[in-house]
């Protein structure tokens, strides 16, 4: 058995069969989202992320899926997000960025398309963007102090934090009424053009995230300092953004 699929659709029938076997009629839908549903999927490196929607009865028997999920993790399938339809509909005001990004790139593998009719209130989305950017600024400052100035740790801090900014960038483009690009670097360039931040800084962070660079220790430290400055700048712009 292959450890990971070369194409996500190779496992669709198998994973549907497994979840159907465990949850039966309580399985409402299985949805693939994220890089595996778009252009950034890298076999063997990208996790396959699934949203699994269960009935209220099914969610109360979640432990039934522990063994099955453990087996799938060996094949680059991340632990799925498991929700009910009522949870989704009642959480759009609390987590608009998260649901917007799930909806941005997804494929319905089984059952009902529970994302199709979701809509997002701009004022709540802007507020979460502001909150997330300010929180990430604090996180990066604290993280820098924890690195003890060591290049390897700074590199890891960039890798760990970077993905969250792409989600925020998508939300900002949505607020501007701009179609969200499918490729990470195009997202960065679009946000830079609309919000006045330096795209090169975030593009270099993308290179670090994807292990596509050979920056020196000094360069990594300079990139991080610029990264933090651009996040602060963007946070101020979003704070003043009128909806």
Q: What is the pTM of this model?
A: 0.85
Contacts of 195 (CB under 8 A, 6+ apart): 172, 234, 237, 238
Residues 126 and 89 occupy one common structural domain: no
Residues 216 and 159 occupy one common structural domain: yes
Residues 95 and 41 occupy one common structural domain: yes
Residues 193 and 231 occupy one common structural domain: yes
Digit-coded pLDDT (tens) for 45-60: 677 999 999 999 999 9
Strand partners, 32: 50, 107
Digit-coded pLDDT (tens) for 81-96: 999 999 999 999 999 9
Domain count, the chain: 2
Residues 164 and 235 occupy one common structural domain: yes
Confidence of residue 133 (pLDDT cuts 50, 70, 90): very high
Question: Which residue is associated with the tokens 């900002």?
Answer: 172
Contacts of 188 (CB under 8 A, 6+ apart): 166, 169, 199, 202, 203, 206
- Residue where a domain stops, chosen among 60, 76, 111: 111
Asked if 136 and 165 touch (Cβ cutoff 8 Å), the reply is yes
Q: Which of 119, 64, 115, 58 is nearest to 84 (CA)?
A: 58
> Whole-angstrom Cα distance, residue 191 to residue 197?
8
CATH (domain of 68): 3.30.460.10
What pLDDT does residue 7 have?
Answer: 86
What pLDDT does residue 135 have?
Answer: 97
Percentage of the chain lying above the pLDDT 70 cut: 97
Digit-coded pLDDT (tens) for 173-195: 999 999 888 788 999 999 999 99
Residues 149 and 233 occupy one common structural domain: yes
Q: Is position 217 within any domain?
A: yes
Residues 126 and 233 occupy one common structural domain: yes
**pLDDT (mean) for 196-208:** 97
- Residue where a domain stops, chosen among 86, 111, 136: 111
CATH (domain of 166): 1.20.120
Domain of 79?
Answer: 8-111
């Amino acid at each position: 058995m292959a450890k990971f699929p070369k194409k996500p659709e190779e496992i669709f029938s198998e994973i549907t069969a497994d979840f159907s076997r465990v949850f039966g009629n309580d399985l409402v839908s299985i949805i693939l989202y994220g890089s595996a549903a778009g252009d950034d999927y890298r076999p063997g490196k990208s996790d396959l992320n699934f949203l699994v929607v269960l009935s209220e009865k099914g969610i109360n028997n979640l432990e039934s899926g522990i063994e099955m999920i453990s087996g799938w993790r060996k094949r680059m399938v991340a632990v799925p997000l498991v929700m009910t339809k009522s949870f989704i509909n009642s959480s759009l005001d609390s987590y608009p960025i998260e649901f917007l990004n799930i909806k941005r790139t997804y494929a319905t593998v089984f059952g009902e398309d529970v994302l199709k009719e979701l809509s997002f209130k701009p004022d709540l989305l802007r507020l979460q963007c502001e909150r997330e950017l300010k929180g990430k600024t604090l996180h990066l400052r604290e993280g820098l102090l924890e690195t003890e100035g060591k290049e390897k740790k700074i590199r890891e801090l960039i890798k760990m934090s970077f993905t969250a900014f792409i989600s925020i960038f998508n939300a900002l483009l949505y607020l501007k009424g701009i179609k969200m690009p499918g490729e990470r670097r195009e997202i960065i360039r679009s946000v830079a053009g609309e919000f006045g931040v330096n795209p090169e800084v975030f593009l270099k962070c993308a290179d670090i995230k994807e292990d596509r660079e050979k920056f020196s220790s000094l360069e990594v430290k300079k990139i991080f300092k610029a990264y933090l400055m651009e996040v602060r700048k963007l946070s101020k712009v979003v704070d003043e953004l009128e909806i």
